[in-house]
Amino acid sequence: MKVLATYNIKGGVGKTATAVNLAHLAATGGARTLVWDLDPQGAATYCFRIKPKVKGGGKKLIRGKGRLERRIRGTDFERLDLLPADFSYRHLDLVLDATKRATGRIAQRIRPLAEDYDYVFLDCAPSISLVSEAVFAAADALLVPTVPTTLAVRMVKRLVKHLSREGTEVAVLPFFCMVDRRKALHRRICASTDETPLPFLEACIPYASVVEQMSVRRAPLATFAAASRAAKAYADLWAEISSRLAE
Amino acid sequence: MTVPEVTFVADSPRLVRQAVTGLESSFRTRRDGRSGARRSYHDTFDWRLYRYGGALAVDARDGSWVLRWLGPDGSLRQRLQTETIPGFAWDLDAGEFRQDLTGVIDVRRLLPVVHVDVRSETLAILDRREKTVARVHVERGMSAPGDDPSSARPMVERLRVTPVLGYDGDHAAVVRHLDGLSDLHRHTGGELLLALAAVGIEPGSYSSKLDVPLEPRLRASAAAARILTNLLRTMRANEDGTRRDLDSEFLHDFRVAVRRTRSCLGQLKGVFDRKATEPFRRELAWLGGVTGPTRDLDVYLLNMREYRHELSPALASDLDALETYLRERQKTEQRRVSRALASQRYTNFVRDWSAYLDRLASDDSSGAPDAGRGVRDVAGERIRRAFRRVRKRGSDLDADTPPEVVHRLRIDCKKLRYLLEFFRNLFERQRVAPLVRSLKRLQDHLGDFNDLDVQQRELRAMAAEMHGRGVGNADTVLAMGCLIGRLEQRQADLKRRLVESVRSFVGKRNRAGFRELLR
């Protein structure tokens, strides 16, 4: 089982679109896939048309001894399931703070799922917090959607530095997202490699209104716009990420 | 993880369509399109997977095959993708699937039981967010027998309600709605049973187990006719598989039926006219003889894997020459068996034996002394006698008893066992079952002991033969010698356990058991 977390401290950069689309691609490709929507905003949950409610709330989920399975719901797509968001997740930091061995909690809760799933996607809330620390500890890789601006790239570097200082072992896979080819800054940043000593993935997701349509259609991109540039870009991204993980 | 799927059938396609219309008005729904699938269900000739509970479905998928091992309620137990459809469990790659499958089918080959061509229309049941919370598949199709794919027949039309994880309540609501329709009935047993019903195949219809219905006062000759007819049916059922050498157990079941037939004729002497049965006894001896060598070679080849484990890896590869030699010999002997079963001599035997048994069942003017007696009396007499013989020979057994005597005890036990099997239905189940179990345990030990003995002698003979033909080299002979040594050691250990096993069988409990049984 591989655990992938879509992570970025900033909101609105494409974490959820990434999680939903890559998970859908993974499942279509034959892998049993789970998305855990950790964001109290519940965007991924909304995308899958599932009620953002989890029995017992976030507290029970993190601290409870019962298995996660009972709260998981099937999406409309084969081999793709969702552990929904719940508004109580806004208190997850507090719950973790009161828990022993907080950093390992998420890893511990998802470990038994290895029997049932090949991939688990953790769709994170935009923040840096105790929950994020727990996600870093649980994940095999962090997928960091990055808008190609100087400041955004700088944040990625800081994240990598932070992780190495903490000794956290997790692969960081940043990639450019919401790329607008009309902007010179975007073009420059995507092209240059010396400004970004940390290697970004080759695949780039273009800014496309069709991606915003996901929350209107409430479905993964490939189900309604498979021929679009954005859909193809996500497919390339998944191909790149999955082969990286296989190494 | 979630509730099982539920299938409903109706007496006509119109009723199914009505049910669908009913669903569309009672629930929020969406037609999700059509799909088709072609698959086949596989099982061993003796229905091992079916008896275990469940079925093995084989679907073609993008140039390879997907095996789905289903539980009795249609749920998915295990799934495996393979390049080729397995005949034997060992054709699959090592893993959980192969291991579990081996536990059920052992050395038998999987054969296609039925081919299915299904058309499916899916109706999604939605909640108010238009999320699919359950699915109803309307399925129709054709099914054809595994050995005759061209003679397809239509299957009953059905509605299959599948759940979505986490939405058990919605699934239950749809099921409740359909339960409430008087024209629909629940169907258990999945697609396989519907496919079999369409082509008139009864699942689990073949078994090598002997289970002949008998009434205590039935004339002994009529009872014998029933038993022997049952055995002839078993022989005939295994003919095709034996001729084609599909797996080793066809020949084995054939031989067991022949052996039981000969034992019946031998142990119920007063029931038959000796002169009338003499030609049949000769033909049965011929069948036993011509099939013997092939069976021995089958057993060796099945044991080769074990043999390799007995020896160190270095020596194990030296057994390759032996295995090749065995395969060649098996092919030769198998050809002999196929020719025998295709021969006029065999056809005549079956025809004449059948006719004789028909006459024996309906009228008996043979004048044989025991023919007219009640079968319960005759059976009781023979069983008592057979047990006494086992007791006598068995109580003399100790660590110094030579192998020939052990061999004779083994034969005595076989005779007793056959009698208990022939006449099983004359006795109360809970009286006879523990005796058979106890006897079986003893027979297993005797059988193992005998096998080791035979194997050692055969290996010696084979080594000499191979040497004579210039097959294999010094290393091969050394490896075989090492193997013989190991087998000798095992045999000595086994002898000790055997003595205990015999003492236990002829002990107080079984003596009382037989007394009770035959009262």
Cβ atoms of A31 and A79 within 8 Å: the answer is yes
Q: For residues A127 and A83, give the distance between their C-alpha atoms in angstroms, rounded to a whole number.
A: 20
User: Quick one: DSSP state of residue B268?
Assistant: T
pTM, entire model: 0.84
Q: What is the pLDDT of residues B132-190, one digit of tens each?
A: 999 999 999 999 999 999 999 999 999 999 999 999 999 999 999 999 999 999 998 88
Q: For residues A37 and A15, give the distance between their C-alpha atoms in angstroms, rounded to a whole number.
A: 11
Tell me, yes or no, if B94 comes closer than 8 A to chain A by beta carbon.
no
pLDDT of amino acid B283: 97
> To which H or E segment does residue B256 belong?
helix B248-267
Q: Give the count of Cβ contacts less than 8 A between chain A and B.
A: 29
Partner-chain contact B165 A72, CB within 8 Å: yes
Strands (E) located in B83-227: 111-126, 132-145, 153-154, 158-163, 184-187
Q: What is the pLDDT of residues A112-123, one digit of tens each?
A: 999 999 999 999
| CA of A145 vs chain B CAs: smallest distance (Å) | 28
Strands (E) located in B233-346: none
Q: In this structure, what token pair is assigned to residue A214?
A: 């996901």
Cβ atoms of A85 and B175 within 8 Å: the answer is no
Cβ atoms of B123 and B30 within 8 Å: the answer is yes
Query: 10 Å Cβ neighbour count for A219?
Result: 20
Q: For residues A176 and A8, give the distance between their C-alpha atoms in angstroms, rounded to a whole number.
A: 12
Q: Helix or strand or coil: residue B88?
A: coil
* Minimal-distance CA residue of chain A relative to B1: A69
Q: Which of A5-9, A89-93, B316-320 has the highest mean pLDDT?
A: A5-9
pLDDT of amino acid A16: 96
Sign of the C-alpha dihedral computed for residues B483, B488, B493 and B497 taken in this order = positive
Partner-chain contact A74 B164, CB within 8 Å: yes
pLDDT of amino acid B1: 54
Strands (E) located in chain A: 2-6, 33-37, 73-74, 80-83, 119-123, 141-146, 171-176
Report chain A's terminal Cα–Cα distance, integer Å: 14
Per-window interface: B 182-241 vs A, CB < 8 A: none
Sign of the C-alpha dihedral computed for residues B267, B272, B273 and B279 taken in this order = negative
Q: What is the pLDDT of residues A145-175, one digit of tens each?
A: 999 988 898 899 899 999 989 888 899 999 9
Tell me, yes or no, if B166 comes closer than 8 A to chain A by beta carbon.
yes
Q: Helix or strand or coil: residue A123?
A: strand
| CA of B166 vs chain A CAs: smallest distance (Å) | 4
User: Quick one: DSSP state of residue A5?
Assistant: E
Query: Mean pLDDT across chain A, nearest whole number?
Result: 91
Q: In this structure, what token pair is assigned to residue B324?
A: 């090749």
Q: Environment class of residue B259 by beta-carbon count within 10 Å: exposed (0-12), middle (13-18) or buried (19+)?
A: middle
Q: What is the residue whose two structure tokens read 């009309």?
A: A182
φ/ψ of residue B187, rounded to 5: -120, 125
pLDDT of amino acid B132: 97
pLDDT of amino acid B364: 66
Partner-chain contact B1 A116, CB within 8 Å: yes
Sheet hosting strand A141-146, strand order edge to edge: A73-74, A80-83, A33-37, A119-123, A2-6, A141-146, A171-176
Cβ atoms of A80 and A33 within 8 Å: the answer is yes
pLDDT of amino acid A62: 86
Which residue from B105, B113, B111, B71 is spatially nearest to B197, judged by alpha carbons? B113
More confident: A91 or B232: B232
pLDDT of amino acid A194: 58
Distances (CA, A) of B92 to A245, B84, B101, B294: 27, 9, 10, 26
Nearest by CB to residue B165, choosing from A51, A73, A218, is: A73
Per residue, the 3-state secondary structure of A14-66, as one string, reads CHHHHHHHHHHHHHHCCCCEEEEECCCCCHHHHHCCCCCCCCCHHHHHHHCCC
Q: What is the residue whose two structure tokens read 């002698």?
A: B457
**What is the pLDDT averaged over residues A79-106?**
90
Tell me, yes or no, if B33 comes closer than 8 A to chain A by beta carbon.
no
Evaluate if residue A23 carries a pLDDT over 60. yes
Q: In this structure, what token pair is assigned to residue A60?
A: 């029970």
Distances (CA, A) of B78 to A245, B116, B248, B418, B420: 26, 20, 27, 39, 40
Residues in chain B, total: 519
Evaluate if residue A186 carries a pLDDT over 80. yes
| Best B3, B32, B129 residue to mutate vs chain A (most A CBs within 10 Å) | B129
Cβ atoms of A77 and A220 within 8 Å: the answer is yes
Low-confidence ranges of chain B (pLDDT < 70): 1, 364
Nearest by CB to residue B129, choosing from A49, A81, A116, is: A49
Q: For residues B397 and B413, give the distance between their C-alpha atoms in angstroms, rounded to a whole number.
A: 14
Cβ atoms of B133 and B164 within 8 Å: the answer is yes
For residue B15, the number of C-alpha atoms closer than 13 Å in the C-beta half-sphere is 15
Tell me, yes or no, if B129 comes closer than 8 A to chain A by beta carbon.
yes
Which residue from A132, A152, A134, A135 is spatially nearest to A12, judged by alpha carbons? A152
pLDDT of amino acid B192: 95
Q: What is the residue whose two structure tokens read 């859909």?
A: A231
Q: What is the pLDDT of residues A187-199, one digit of tens each?
A: 888 887 555 567 8
Q: For residues B179 and B105, give the distance between their C-alpha atoms in angstroms, rounded to a whole number.
A: 37
pLDDT of amino acid B308: 75
pLDDT of amino acid A193: 56
Q: In this structure, what token pair is assigned to residue B308?
A: 């390799």
